[in-house]
Chain A
């Protein structure tokens, strides 16, 4: 390679983003040891927050980065919970059941992707909803579930209540961290660049060598696994399973709310949106109908005045992304013989 003949840098990490990464590591460690000091109530609420962040990040990955707007993602939430119940009923440990259920959700989404990913735009969105409704009905037919009667994850009773609470909390923290890390690494990879290219133009992406269906499939399955895990964790903390509370479009509506308010298509935005939703719910969740009206009004306000969400408004004032997935080209002067710098460093 004639590396020294050219001069340019491709910057990915910045000093600020390294610092942020360090702070995130500290925060995660603090969260991991939080059960030592935090009250049971706080631990339960934080578990809820982890599930929300996971849901928002996964829906944002699909719609914001991949352009796959689905209004049927509650299908995977419901399946994650249902399969956990089913597996635990065979005598498998409830936590092992949760992990296995998420893997099964991944396999189901892989099979489903062969039908769904050929659909475009609105057709895909609606077909996912139809599929979620269909899955709901099929689960109703299971004699273990007995229509809408439902059942419970009784096997969790082998764990003492305090131990169980902390174990579920850790499961939530681990699932959220692992899935967000996987998503971040995926978005930073060349597949991540291809995902965004497909979002902006499928035809152009195909014309420059991107395997469109295969790339979409990776994203679709990752999102399904993440949402399936979220459903399994929700079940573990709620214990009882009633199909209509899990296979409810309200879950997808929450995902959309969090992503729109936080900032669609930015990694940080979805997390911020989940935290906002969590706070709104914590403060106003008891207000019944007015709470729902407030959520609707908030969503409307943001789509009218902050189309890129809260994070979009913040990011415009920042010189670089906090958690960068893109590529910045600098010191680019390959034609000048006396270039300022001879280094050809590519920071990662």
Chain B
């Protein structure tokens, strides 16, 4: 029996910046609709991996497949149009445009979307990410929290099938964090696969069914969250030797 097509599979990904190997032979897969968390100490290569998967960086070696097709040579824009989209760890809002316009640009570039469909997509994305009250505000006037939400809203407006989230939960209060967990849960319910880099592990494990831990450009553990968090290598690298 043939295996079901993976949403995403990356094999042997290496990325060098001069002499530094930011990624050193990473294998990474995501099943359709699956939610995967990525943890690891700063400098482990998490964001670099995300950038390679999204097409913002091209890998020094290795291949990336999205829904069974080789997308290694595709630009970030073309990957996005196929349903693979990311958010940015340091938010990059379109500061001179309103919140709604930020989401609308994303929605307007969905393949074959009419203007009305783009309006609907953008409005729904703002609603889902809790930004409808600031829809007409200039994005440049948003605080860090608003900017992070906008990253999510803009990515959602592209109608993704796989969402790559990079630390959108940092700095949230407990109430805000549970709101975010509910939002991500809703996305999963809609069948969107999620890869989520996050330092706040207790928030992450409420959503993901699989955890990947990276260190020094390699994957050092991959499995169910409890097992990964208990792994001695993970404890050593990520939790500094002291289990929580």
The chain A residues found within 8 Å of chain B, CB to CB, are: 1, 3, 6, 8, 10, 190, 193-194, 196-197, 199-201, 203-212, 265, 326-330, 332, 334-335, 346
Contacts and interface: CB of A to CB of B under 8 A. Distances in A.
A224 B88 CA distance: 34
B81 A207 contact: no
Contacts of B54: 207
Interface in B85-126: 85-86, 88, 92-98, 100-102, 104-106, 108-110, 115-120, 123-124, 126
17 contacts: A1-B120, A8-B119, A194-B109, A197-B105, A200-B95, A204-B154, A207-B80, A209-B78, A209-B80, A209-B110, A210-B77, A326-B98, A326-B101, A328-B100, A329-B100, A330-B136, A332-B123
Contacts of B115: 190, 346
A328 B104 CA distance: 11
Nearest to B97: A196
B88 A207 contact: yes
B97 A206 contact: no
A6 B100 CA distance: 16
B11 interface: no
A12 to B, nearest CB: 10
B96 A196 contact: yes
A133 to B, nearest CB: 32
Contacts of B78: 209
Interface of B, helix, strand, loop or mixed by DSSP: helix
A334 B127 contact: yes
A212 B109 CA distance: 12
Contact of B94 (A6, A8, A196, A332): A196
Given A207-B80, A209-B77, A193 B101 contact: yes
B75 interface: yes
Nearest to B100: A329
On chain B, which size bracket covers the interface? 35 or more
A154 B124 CA distance: 63
**When A and B form their complex, which 9 residue pairs have the shortest distance between CB atoms, in order from nearest?**
A209-B109, A204-B92, A200-B94, A208-B106, A190-B108, A209-B80, A201-B92, A329-B135, A329-B100
Interface string B222-244: 00000000000000000000000
Interface of B: 54, 56, 75-78, 80-81, 85-86, 88, 92-98, 100-102, 104-106, 108-110, 115-120, 123-124, 126-127, 132, 135-136, 139, 154-155, 157-158
Contact of B104 (A193, A205, A332): A193
Contacts of B97: 193, 196-197, 200, 326
A211 B105 contact: no
Contacts of A207: 54, 56, 76-77, 80, 85-86, 88, 155
A24 B124 CA distance: 37
Contacts of A265: 96
Contacts of A1: 116-117, 120
Nearest to A208: B106
Nearest to A195: B105
Contacts of B155: 207-208
A199 B96 contact: yes
B101 A327 contact: yes
A210 B106 CA distance: 8
Contacts of B93: 200-201, 204
Given A200-B95, A329-B123, A209 B116 contact: no
B117 to A, nearest CB: 8
A335 B127 contact: yes
Nearest to B135: A329
B94 A197 contact: yes
Interface centre among B94, B126, B136 (most CB of A within 10 A): B94
A210 B123 contact: no
B100 A327 contact: yes
A346 B105 contact: no
A212 B75 CA distance: 10
A194 B127 CA distance: 22
Given A193-B97, A196-B94, A197-B94, A205 B105 contact: yes
Contacts of A335: 127
A332 B95 CA distance: 22
Contacts of A190: 105, 108-109, 115, 118
